[in-house]
Structure 1
Amino acid sequence: MRKIILLLLVICANTLMAQTTQDKAAILKVLENQRQGWNKGDMENYMQGYWKSDSLLFVGKNGPTYGWQKTLDNYKKGYPDKSAMGFLTFGIKKVEFLAKDKAFVLGSWNLKREKDEPKGYFTLLLRKIGGEWKVVVDHSS
């Protein structure tokens, strides 16, 4: 009986790990797609990584913003053209699964522009919605 229980635990653990590996790769792909969209100067493409909902929460230096459209509008205001957007890189420090459909990401961001090089950190909460990972909370500083 113990051998059967142990075997079932091993099978379940392997299945969970395989899913986590696939999901981690999918999350990293979302972030890479965002980075590429940003570096092309395509803000709408960048925003595809976010949950297109009025419940999306973005927290930055000006405090919380709710909603996908409002977040897009704020990005466009702060980064009106490609030169203002610069060249974005991420440094992913941690991807941790909180549940099968929720993940936490900690990372750094760096913008290289002609006259400056702002940088900071971000924490993200992602949810798997309709089979796709989307950022539902972004706190960037």
Structure 2
Amino acid sequence: MLLIVGCGTQQIDENGIRNAVTGVLTAQQKAWNEGNVEEFMAGYRRSEDLTFASEDTVSRGWEAVLKRYKTKYTPETMGQLNFSDLKITPLSPDAAYVIGTWALKREPDNPGGKFTLIFRKFEEGWKIVHDHTSSRVK
């Protein structure tokens, strides 16, 4: 008996993935600019496995990341968020990573920096499962 096993490759809809991920980031930017941190957080996977690394800390879990944002930013200090220089790289039909630039326009400063995001596709859509954000040196 001869058994032949084929190793098929999964087709990746790169444009579809890029459009979906861009949609999540656009919705996050809009929510932030409206002062709605909870809606901004809808782009993240609501899970204890979510990780957010920034400065010298790693926050684990959706609630911890929400608390971090609410502690660090008040409605008065949120400013206007802009994402730019996005490079979205599909890894598989259900995973992608993004490298980009973030910038806040606000008084009295205009902080910004770089980020790397890992997205996964779930039943509820594309969600961020890991965020590593850095800030420009002041």
Q: Give unmatched runs, 5+ long, in structure 2.
A: 1-8
The list of structure 1 runs, each at least 4 consecutive aligned residues, that deviate by more than 2 angstroms after superposition, is none
Q: In the alignment, which of 116, 126, 129 is matched to residue 119 of structure 2?
A: 126
Question: Which residue pairs with 1:32 in the alignment?
Answer: 26
Q: Does 1:111 align with 2:104?
A: yes
Q: CA deviation at 1:24?
A: 0.9
Q: Which secondary structure state, in structure 2, belongs to the residue aligned with residue 74 of structure 1?
A: helix
Question: Which residue pairs with 1:60 in the alignment?
Answer: 54
Question: Which residue pairs with 2:17 in the alignment?
Answer: 23
Q: RCO higher in 1 or 2 (8 Å CA, sep ≥ 6)? A: 2
Identity %: 39
Alpha carbons 1:92, 1:105 under 8 Å: kept: no
CA RMSD of aligned residues (A): 1.8
Question: TM-score when scaled to structure 1?
Answer: 0.85
More helix by share: 1
1:28-63: per-residue Cα shift (whole Å, max 9, x none)?
000000000000000000000000000100001131
Q: Does 1:45 align with 2:39?
A: yes
Q: Give unmatched runs, 5+ long, in structure 1.
A: 1-12
Question: TM-score when scaled to structure 2?
Answer: 0.87
Counterparts of 1:131 and 1:36, CA distance in 2: 19
Q: CA deviation at 1:77?
A: 0.3
